[in-house]
Structure 1
Amino acid sequence: MIISGFLLLILVLLTGPLWVYLSGQLDLKTHWSSASRESTGTAPSPQRFPEASVRVYYARSFHWRGAFGVHSWLAIKEKNGSSYQIFQVIGWRLFGNHSSVDVHWGDPARYWYGEKPILLGEISGADAEKAIPKIRDAAENYPYAWNYRVWPGPNSNTFISHLIRSAENFPFGLPPHAIGKDYPVEGSFFTKSSSNTGWQFSIYGLLGFILSSAEGLRFQILGLEFGWNPLRSGILLARGGGFWNIETSSKINKILRKKVYFEDVDHRNA
């Protein structure tokens, strides 16, 4: 009975990736070398906005991986700085005997191999000035720089989640489909949530839960998530492009309404 229930839950969670594939949201034909890396022009100009800034982006992963998850990166700009410094992990760098940690200067709002970037959140001014040294230190001392695994981690989302936690004042957690975000970096299964607004327990990103004001209550099974967020008054079911949010009654949250919508429908139209 328990096993059949577990298998049924896995099948329900896999309907998300299946929907992404069947709805034609994936580009399975374009070769990575010709996929767009053009700028969207949405990042604030450093010359026009002199204050310090920390911005976190994500975009659907390239090719078939996009049915299951996203790639994330973080950009910082010092006060009166002339450019953004971008931090990310790229697994294929290891094939060239380079660290998976990639740090470079440039435009943070570029397409990720054909997928439009989505701004997760930003802190600026004094908050960013406090966070930037902590982020740089966390990136320099990232323990998995020479270790990369798409699933369950450590991967690009593990790295960015680590930087966000290290900043301590970035109140946004990576989205539920950022597989690898809950892979433990500090060596402890019990740690702060990536949004720094609560706590989480995770067994290498395979099994665990999160309880925080930003993420609500979420459970992870094999890297897929489902849960409940009282601030959104909804039950959340993980899918490849985000969460299904089944709204609940404002008076009795346990009674479901009929309205169902995507919290993050289609990255191409975001």
Structure 2
Amino acid sequence: MPRLKYLFLILLLCFVAPALASLGVRAASSHPGSWRSADWSSAGLLPAATEQSEPAVYVMAARTGGLKGGLAVHSWIVTKPEGALRYTRYDKVGWGNPIRVNGYDADGRWYSNTPEILLALQGAEAARLIPKIEAAVKAYPHSGRGDYRIWPGPNSNSFVAHVLRAVPELGIVLPPEAVGRDYRPWGEFVTVTPDGRNVEFSLGGYAGLAAGTLYGVELRLGGLVFGLDVNRPGIKLPGFGRIGV
């Protein structure tokens, strides 16, 4: 019994309390009541494609709509080959054909929430990786109608996480509040990066562990993350994401 009490206390302090606090902050803030009243326009974070001749790759994320925005972000990928007159944005959504191409402005707000640029890559390296990104998008195994589950996945973050794993040269992972990034089909329990420096263990996205240079140390439960960032010292809390020390 004492061990069960300690386990319950750990779950309460590491997962339940931060998640409820983040939901409380979200509930107290103002946000659109529906997708119809939300602002989906460009946030003006990226230069106009016609003003940037060199190739570029961006990975972006913004808080989701409604109360669930207290726990999760929506992520997407943007590419622009050299000389292209417009960006190409890839999202996975929960309606219609789930993989959307240019369904929104490249740096568009998501449910009125301004996105964050997680990665900005230009020049020769972007040019080299764009074909790999496009191939990973086409190879995504959950791209048909009905291949979307908000929890534990495969959702929008599961899609972007798949591309990042398929193109490890991008060198990033989605933030801890990207619920669904750890989704794997049941049976794909262990994932190791090509350089062997990061390992993930996943029980279908319901629970898991991760450790390495990209993740630090993470304990995952129900898509939420509690952990420590090593390379950039900080703590990871459900809903709040990474908080630098």
Question: Conserved in 1, the CA contact under 8 Å of 2:82 and 2:127?
Answer: yes
The alpha-carbon distance between structure 1 residues 240 and 109, as it changes in their structure 2 partners (threshold 3 A), is same
Tell me the residue number matched to 1:240: 239
Mapped pair 1:127 → 2:129: no
Match of 1:32 among 25, 35, 56: 35
Tell me the residue number matched to 2:189: 189
Question: Conserved in 2, the CA contact under 8 Å of 1:57 and 1:121?
Answer: yes
Q: How many residues align?
A: 240
Tell me the residue number matched to 1:107: 105
Match of 1:15 among 13, 17, 20: 17
Query: Which shifted more, 32-41 or 124-133?
Result: 124-133
Unaligned 5+ segments in structure 1 are 94-98, 248-270
Cα distance between partner residues in 2 of 1:154 and 1:209: 18
SS across alignment from 2:164: helix
Cα drift, residue 198 of structure 1: 2.1
Unaligned 5+ segments in structure 2 are none
Cα drift, residue 211 of structure 1: 1.8
Query: Which shifted more, 152-161 or 185-194?
Result: 185-194
CA distances 1:103-138 after superposition (whole Å, capped 9, x unpaired): 127631111011111111122212212211111112
TM-score, reference length from structure 1: 0.80
Percent of pairs identical after alignment?
A: 31
Match of 2:84 among 81, 84, 92: 81
Query: Which shifted more, 69-78 or 176-185?
Result: 176-185
CA distances 1:219-262 after superposition (whole Å, capped 9, x unpaired): 2122111222232334x2413131345x4xxxxxxxxxxxxxxx
The alpha-carbon distance between structure 1 residues 243 and 206, as it changes in their structure 2 partners (threshold 3 A), is same
In structure 1, give the amino acid aligned to 2:228.
W
Question: Conserved in 2, the CA contact under 8 Å of 1:71 and 1:156?
Answer: yes
> How do 1:222-233 and structure 2 match up within 5 A?
222-233=222-233
Mapped pair 1:45 → 2:48: yes
The alpha-carbon distance between structure 1 residues 35 and 230, as it changes in their structure 2 partners (threshold 3 A), is same
The alpha-carbon distance between structure 1 residues 46 and 29, as it changes in their structure 2 partners (threshold 3 A), is closer
CA distances 1:131-163 after superposition (whole Å, capped 9, x unpaired): 111111121121111311111111000000111
Cα distance between partner residues in 2 of 1:39 and 1:76: 16
> How do 1:51-200 and structure 2 match up within 5 A?
51-93=54-96, 99-104=97-102, 107-146=105-144, 147-184=147-184, 188-192=188-192, 198-200=198-200
The alpha-carbon distance between structure 1 residues 58 and 149, as it changes in their structure 2 partners (threshold 3 A), is same
Question: Conserved in 2, the CA contact under 8 Å of 1:74 and 1:88?
Answer: yes
